Structure 1
Amino acid sequence: MEGDSSVPRGRGAKLIELMKKQKEAAVRAVGAPEEESKEETMPRGRAARLLQVMKARSVGAATVPTVSQTPSTSKPSEVQKLSEEFSQVSLSQQTREPLSYKGTSGKELRLSCNYIRLSVEEGRGVFEYEVTFYPNLDAKNIRFRLVNNIMKEIGSVKVFDGGHILFLPTKITDTSKSFDLIQPISNEPIKVTLIYKKKKSLGDKDCLQLYNVLFKRIMHILDYTQMGRNYYDTEHRHLIPQHRLEVYPGFAVAVDELEGGLMVCLDTQHRVLRTQNAYELLIDIKQKMNPRVFKETAQKNILGSIVLTRYNHKTYIVDDILWEMNPTCTFTSRDGREISFLEYYKTEYNIDIHDPNQPMLLHKKKVKKSGSSETDERLICLVPELCHLTGLSDEMRNDFKVMKDVGMYTRVTPAQRIVALRTYLDNVKKNANAQKILSEWGLSISPNNLLMPGRQLDVETINFGKNVSKNAGPNVDWNREVANNQVITPVDLRNWVVFYTDRDSKIARDFVQCMLRFASTMGCVMSQPRYEQLPDDQTSTYVKVVQQKLNRDIQIAVFISPTMRTDRYSVIKKLCCSQLGVATQVILARTLSRQDKIRSIVTKIALQINCKLGGSLWTVKFPFQGWMICGIDVYHGGPNASVCGFVSSLNESVTRWYSTAHFQTKELGDFYKAAFTKSLERYKNENGSFPAKIIIIRDGVGDGQLEVTKRYEVEQFEEVLKFFELTTTICFIVVQKRINSRVFHSMSDGKMENPPPGTIVDHTITRRYYYDFFLVPQSVKQGTVNPTHYIVLHDTCKLKPDHVQRLCYKLCHLYYNWPGTIRVPAPCQYAHKLAGMVGQYMKSPAAPDLAEKLWYL
């Protein structure tokens, strides 16, 4: 397309062309796949009944989906191959030396954490044996019985997989040991031999899995109930009857081998459940809504939500509502009988279902095939009457009273966490069965949580326009300063439009007057806008007005909306940002009606609009030149569609950003090459040369994806640099927010408080085989602060730990939607906002004219 700056040109175009040729050559080399017969596994029981319903729904369609979508003859994807390749990473790590990534700058702090040291008795551990049977046995149950008899003779506990692998807590032989037994079915003699293989490393995958299983047993012994991955005390729940909620206290428990040895991470958790079940929610919707939109409204409120079935304490995601089914429908049970759901729940759980005409809920569960990386889809049918809703609805989250009442139980202070942790340790110590489980495997748990030293980085200085500098202060908050000082790059606002309805006309004009008064403080020139009054607030009206009243010459369109509606918001963003290339600002009229806070509100809106026009608000000092900082995050909007946001810096002060988003159908794609190419070209156009060093910060990568990311994603960036024939080096950093690690500041009087902003922990509780550290960038007065985990996966820049840690902390100061520090570096948060805006609302990329503006704030 002519004039489309988003299309790669020059060397970028050549790179894309080369990638296409490589793919075409690979296809020709492989050849066209031949037709292969697909052996379809027929579902039975309830799954068969569900399949019939789904087939009935799809009458007239070209194809009917089956339960088993992936035949055993299909070729594994590239991602599957990589996952399999790295599934044995822990084995190679046994031979690696532990890695240290310690810095030295900053003030020393006395810290504590929620880790407890786990010790293994000398001469004990996990010993692996191979089990052989002569003559050979195929029956697993017989193998288990024979091995159990051997364990009685030895007097030991064991973990046996039913095949040929046996784990024991002690070493019983250096070579092999045989046992003569009697086959329990045929009464024939059989010889069982245990062949010693090796002692497992503490960090070995099998070893850690075993220790986690042991603590799972301990949680059940202490009467905790597993819900999802964590464990909760269902007997001591907190009731919030005014909001029909209840809060279950509990713990997240995990064992891992860290830099300081074998540790147990124990974190306080809370699960919020609604006393309302899915059936009651359906009844409420039916009573309040028009019957014509009942089903549509019900699906919006229930689909995607997580429900808990109390009869087995399991959680499920609701994927569909089966209006054609009800509890009177039958399915074939395991013993071959036709049984209804009513009978099934009465027989199995002694539960009476009161409404036999209620629709059923559907959960689709992916189950891994035995001995294969492929998965089958298992359909699970649920009765709404038995499904209790978990979590808070959007309406509840927007209700201050609800959040305040829930926060009384979920917002736990550091001191309360320590008390809960030590209470748990006391319970383990006093419980004989729990102690027996640990002693059988030679384990002992420390009576107290871990104490360790940490560091606090120096406070940053915030730079505004006209060379004004202010210290960020102990609370890293410069809200007052940003409202009273000129921004770094003010943008004049001369051509803008304000849309509003008749009832909001006064609010609209008062808003504009406040904007004009604040313009001089920001340092920009602001003209009167063009006012456009809407006849009503229908979505179709907004579509019509935008198409008639807006053009590409408009700098920004401001919409003062009577209510918040997702469909209206989506239409505005798609028409303006995607089709016209015009930035938008959507404001709720209720927000502007708060006269006591109107100055503060309009100030924040004016600053946000300045960013959307390409301006910059503040920065910190960066002691380097020729560096480019990139941020990456992925929005997952559905099972087959994701949006990747890619943001890169354009100048030395790291105040201007280039942003691009791309739809991808799989988790790992080749998109990075195209996005990185365009970012390099934009950087060169702005600075006259390519960057000397590139820092890439990737959000949204879990522990199981680290090695795949290191190999697959980093390789794409390196290939682009090779194509451009650059000597530029790369530092690739993964940032993790959803972690259970907690850090506390141990005061001189023994009290535990939140650590101050800039706290660094880079030893003891860090990963044994990665360059990583924890950073606390924020000041938190309520509850417990969550540290952020950084992992340096790849570094050809050869940066010192101090440099990486200080850089990440500096970048946490540069998010222009908040005059303070945030949990992750600003480029990651920008990429998160970009991907979310495109994936959730627009469903299409933004116009190229907006690529160098923060239009998605």
Structure 2
Amino acid sequence: MRYPSGHLPGLSKGIHLGIRVSSSHLILGHHLQDSNERQGQDSGPGQSTWSDTPQTCYAWSRCSPWSRCSRELQLSAELQAATLKGRRAWCGGVFRDLVVNTRQYLEHVRGSKAGSQGKVVKLFANHFRVTSCPQWIAYKYNIDYMPDIENGDVRESLLFQHEALFGKCHIFDGNSLLLPCALPKSKTELVSHFKDQLVKVTIEFSSELTPTSPDRLRYYNILFRKILKIMKLRQVGRNYYNKEKAEEIRQHKLEIWPGYVTSILQYENSMTLCADVNHKLLRMETAYDLIMRIREDAKKKGIDVKEQVSKELVGSIVFTKFNNKTYRVDAINWKETPKTIFKKSDGTKITFMEYYKKMIYLFSRLEVSDTVNSYVTVLKKHDSSNTQMVVCVLSSDRKEMYDGIKKYLCVNCPIPSQCVVARTLDKPQTLMTIATKIAQQMNCKMGGALWKVQTGLQNAMFIGIDCFHDIVNRRKSIAGFVASVNEDLTEWFSQCIIQESGQELVNGLRACLQEALKLWYERNSLLPYSIIVYRDGVGDGQLQALIDYEIPQIVSSLKSIFNSQNFKLTFIVVKKRINTRFFVESQGRLQNPLPGTVVDVELTRREWYDFFIVSQSVKDGTVTPTHYNVIHDTVRLSPDTVQCLTYRLCHMYYNLPGVIRVPAPCHYAHKLAYLVGQSIHEEPHHSLSNRLFYL
């Protein structure tokens, strides 16, 4: 259930510190239906059929709605969970992005960034206006402790021993204090008691914050999350959930906790609260249950228990009920036992058994029946230089079997391959449909094309970049780089960059650009006039780094490649993980907007050349729009052009006959990075770089 308008259940109209959440209002957006129908494929059931006239949509929505991905919503959670050092280093990635003004450098959209074509439609969104007293000033104070205290709860307790000094109306984030009134002194030193120790607490004035200050927005979010606590919602990871309303699905050993995702941010003309429902899906099976189940299976199948447990648990997220926290399993230490003694943070020593009050069992190694080796052995026997495609019919969807085959065929013996689980071919009523889809996928992997669209740009190369973290080596990340090498966007160059933690992505991008442009030149006998980059995988707080480092380095690399020739570059940041939802009213009910709906006013930021597109049609639930932010544009794409272009590219993903959420080069880059990070953990052989082998 969603709450697209009105008040959030359980939330009072007025809240402290001069802000108020009011009912929603209407905003503008717009709707695209493109004239560029796919060439080579008819529109089938469930696919959009484009009209002859391109349409941009101005949408009306309740209360300036658009929101960022969930990281921005985690403010108080991270502040409470982080150590003191982490708290001081972290200042909220989303708020660092808010002060980055990229539109000021784009002359062609300084006056207006809204499209002008198409039909105006009326939309609603899950945003609520937040108003603040326009002249009201808040006062920020830095809080220091001597000796240093890392625990956030202890820091709060020590400060609140002096609550009579600053009053009950305040917001504390673990490192700074926000007050509605100034304290008598700019610097106050106090003494608090912690156990048998005296701690000096220093409260020092930092700055005055206006109602629209990005730093003040951070405190608004902290305050609102405290309201969720008052509503008795439990914090799990980044969000808050209602355990009392949990539902069990016993036959699948699952439990579902309902909750909320919220954020308060400044948008085009006003500050709004974005609120969306969210559910935490929990397996009722514990890690111990899983280990016991694998142990029983090992007796029957003769598999290695340690290896199988590691494959099942490493990389997974576990939830501990005693503190409502989630942890990622990075490794399993088989050398230690429940009786192993470790040192706690206070210096005392204790066994794991005493600490957790439960037993953990480890098991001995069993004999291995390595079916992956048997597949590889057969492949080696039948491999030849004339082999164009390998099809493997697998007995099960076991990950280790798939990974082993893909690694061999992507690294050691580079041949495009197709893995099919045998049971998918056991249904006569769907066999022809499945066989057709498999044949289409194989065709693409061998260099074939299923359809094409006209982009409207001449001699333009399209690039997609996405990042994925390796599930085995957490210190490494994989960047997928995909570039079109012909005008029809039916041929692609693909390469991945495996980088260590902290290594700059652009060091590898230079080589990728050179190879992609070399291949383009071989196919077209000239270099592209313009290059359009869709950059996915950008975390909150990284916008300035893209502007200061990544884009200049790309420009520098292109200058060295093009020599004195002119080239144009557009760089677009793509965000999929956002919480804004749009609705259209039909016959008194709220429904999803039509594919091609664009929102480029009110919901956006005045400092950015940004817009939303709803590109998909979904049968169940609410459709999720995608946010696009043009941060560099020497091609000088008009709003209508970049919006239509982006929507057309969402139709060019060959693995799906419908429309996807992001432009095809973006999703191709994701698929490449995902395959490398999930399965092969090495850079694929260079001979596969001109094939979509990762579909």
Structure 1 and Structure 2 fold alike (TM over 0.5): yes
Per mean C-alpha deviation after superposition, the further-off stretch among 279-288 and 795-804 is 279-288
1:819-834 correspondence to structure 2 within 5 Å? 819-834=657-672
Give the residue type in structure 2 aligned to 1:740.
N
Q: Which amino acid aligns with 1:572?
A: I
Deviation at 1:196, TM superposition (A): 8.5
Residue 89 (structure 1) shift:
6.5
Q: Per-residue deviation at 1:339?
A: 4.0
In structure 2, the residue matched to 1:123 is 135
Equivalent of 1:311, from 288, 299, 322? Answer: 322
Q: Which residue of 2 aligns with 1:228?
A: 237
Once the 2 structures are TM-superposed, how far is the Cα of residue 806 of structure 1 from its aligned partner?
A: 0.7
State the Cα distance separating 1:823 from its structure 2 match: 0.9
SS of equivalent residue, structure 1 residue 719:
helix
Deviation at 1:182, TM superposition (A): 10
Asked if the contact 1:734/1:793 (under 8 Å) is kept, the reply is: yes
Select which of 545, 558, 581 maps to 2:391.
Answer: 558
1:714 equivalent in alignment to 2:551: yes
Q: Which residue of 2 aligns with 1:440?
A: none
Structure 2 residue 621 is matched with structure 1 residue 788? no
Give secondary structure in 2 for the equivalent of 1:202.
Answer: coil
Instruction: Give % identity.
Output: 37
- Structure 1's 148 and 556: CA in aligned 2 closer, same or farther, altered over 3 A? same
Q: Does residue 681 in structure 1 map to residue 514 in structure 2?
A: no
Q: Conserved in 1, the CA contact under 8 Å of 2:171 and 2:222?
A: no
Match of 1:157 among 169, 173, 178: 169
Aligned partner of 2:533 in structure 1 is: 696
Deviations along 1:569-603, whole A, 9 cap, x unmatched? 33433443434443222222222222111111111
Alpha carbons of 1:151 and 1:284: their partners in 2 closer, same or farther (altered >3 Å)?
same
**Are 2:589 and 1:760 aligned?**
no
> Greater relative contact order: 1 or 2 (C-alpha under 8 angstroms, separation 6 or more)?
2
Distance 1:647 1:358, change over 3 A: same
The structural deviation recorded for 1:821 is 0.3
TM-superposed CA distance for 1:337, in Å, is 4.9
- Mark the CA change 1:816 to 1:123 in structure 2 (over 3 Å): closer, same or farther: same
Which residue of the partner structure matches residue 614 of structure 1?
Answer: 447
Q: CA deviation at 1:853?
A: 2.2
Aligned ranges for residues 375-524 of structure 1 at < 5 Å? none
Aligned to 2:647: 809
Q: Which residue of 2 aligns with 1:728?
A: 567
Q: Which residue of 1 aligns with 2:425?
A: 592
Return the offset for 1:778. Answer: 0.7
Partners of 1:656 and 1:852 within 8 A in 2: yes
Secondary structure in structure 1 of the residue aligned to 2:432: helix
| Maintained 8 Å contact 1:99/1:771 | no
Q: What's the CA shift for 1:824?
A: 0.9
Aligned counterparts of 1:231 and 1:86: Cα–Cα separation in 2: 19
- Given that 2:171 and 2:223 are in contact with CA atoms closer than 8 Å, whether structure 1 keeps it comes out as no
Q: Aligned partners of 1:625, 1:685: CA distance in 2, in Å?
A: 17
Q: Name the counterpart of 1:647.
A: 482
Q: Residue 300 of structure 1 aligns with which residue?
A: 311
Q: Partner residue of 1:200?
A: 210
**What is the SS of the residue equivalent to 1:542?**
helix
Match of 1:664 among 499, 509, 527: 499
RMSD: 3.8
Structure 1 stretch displaced more, 138-147 or 636-645? 138-147
Relative to 1, partners in 2 of residues 1:141 and 1:643: Cα closer, same or farther, differing over 3 Å? closer
Q: Whole-Å Cα distance in 2 between the matches of residues 541 and 556 of structure 1?
A: 19
Question: Which secondary structure does the structure 1 equivalent of 2:542 belong to?
Answer: helix
1:114 corresponds in structure 2 to 126
Q: Does the 8 A contact of 1:683 with 1:691 survive in 2?
A: yes
Q: Which amino acid aligns with 1:706?
A: L
Q: Residue 4 of structure 2 corresponds to which residue in structure 1?
A: none
CA contact (8 A) 1:131 1:194 kept: yes
Cα pair 2:584 2:590 within 8 Å, conserved? yes
1:626 aligned partner, one-letter code: N
- 1:856 deviates by 2.0
**Alignment-derived partner of residue 64 in structure 1:** none
Q: In structure 1, what residue type is equivalent to 2:307?
A: E
- 8 Å contact kept, 2:161–2:192: no
What's the secondary structure of 1:289's corresponding residue? helix
The whole-number CA distance in structure 2 between the counterparts of 1:94 and 1:132 is: 36
Extract unaligned runs of 5+ from structure 2: 1-84, 150-154, 194-199, 364-368
**1:559 Cα offset (Å):** 2.4
Q: 1:576/1:184 Cα in 2 relative to 1: closer, same or farther (>3 Å)?
A: closer
Amino acid at match of 1:594: K
SS at match of 2:406: helix
User: Are 1:329 and 1:341, in contact at CA under 8 Å, matched by a contact in 2?
Assistant: yes
Look up the equivalent residue of 1:313 and give its one-letter code.
Answer: N
**Counterpart Cα distance in 1 of 2:187 and 2:462:** 67
**Is residue 118–residue 264 contact of structure 1 (8 Å, CA) maintained in 2?**
yes
Alignment of 1:68-147 (within 5 A): 101-128=113-140, 144=159
Larger Rg: 1
Instruction: Give the structure-2-normalised TM-score.
Output: 0.75
- Higher relative helix content: 1
The residue matched to 1:658 in structure 2 has which SS? strand
Question: CA–CA distance in 2 between the matches of 1:831 and 1:811?
Answer: 14
Tell me if the contact between 1:613 and 1:854 (Cα under 8 Å) persists in the aligned partners. Answer: yes
Decide whether the 8 Å contact of 1:126 with 1:168 is kept in 2. Answer: yes
What is the rounded CA distance, in whole Å, between the counterparts of 1:701 and 1:142 in structure 2? 37
CA contact (8 A) 2:188 2:203 kept: no
1:400-435 CA-to-partner distances (Å, cap 9, x unmatched) read: xxxxxxxxxxxxxxxxxxxxxxxxxxxxxxxxxxxx
Following superposition, the deviation at residue 274 of structure 1 comes to 1.7
Following superposition, the deviation at residue 738 of structure 1 comes to 1.4
* Contact 1:143–1:162 (CA under 8 A) maintained in structure 2: no
Q: Are the counterparts in 2 of residues 90 and 203 from structure 1 also a CA contact under 8 Å?
A: no
Contact map agreement 2:249 2:255 (CA 8 A) in 1: yes
Partner Cα distance (1:160, 1:83) in 2: 14
1:242-281 deviation digits (Å, cap 9, x = unpaired): 1111110111111111113211111110111122222222
For residues 169-188 of structure 1, what are the structure 2 equivalents within 5 Å? 169-170=180-181, 177-178=184-185
SS of equivalent residue, structure 1 residue 304 = coil
Aligned partner of 1:742 among 570, 581, 591: 581
| Alignment size in residue pairs | 580
Q: Is residue 633–residue 831 contact of structure 1 (8 Å, CA) maintained in 2?
A: yes
Q: Partners of 1:103 and 1:161 in 2: how far apart?
A: 41
CA distance in 1, matches of 2:173, 2:497: 44
AA aligned opposite 1:151: F
In the alignment, the residues of structure 1 paired with residue 645 and residue 520 of structure 2 have an alpha-carbon distance, to the nearest angstrom, of 20
Displacement of 1:728 after TM fit? 0.7
CA distance in 2: counterparts of 1:587 and 1:209, whole angstroms: 49
Matched, 1:286 2:317: no
Q: Secondary structure of the equivalent of 2:646? A: helix
TM-superposed deviation, 1:145? 7.0
* Unmatched segments (≥5 aa) in structure 1: 1-71, 73-80, 346-352, 361-535
In structure 2, relative to structure 1, the CA distance for the partners of 1:342 and 1:84 (3 Å cut) is closer
Identify the residue that residue 210 of structure 1 maps to in structure 2. 219
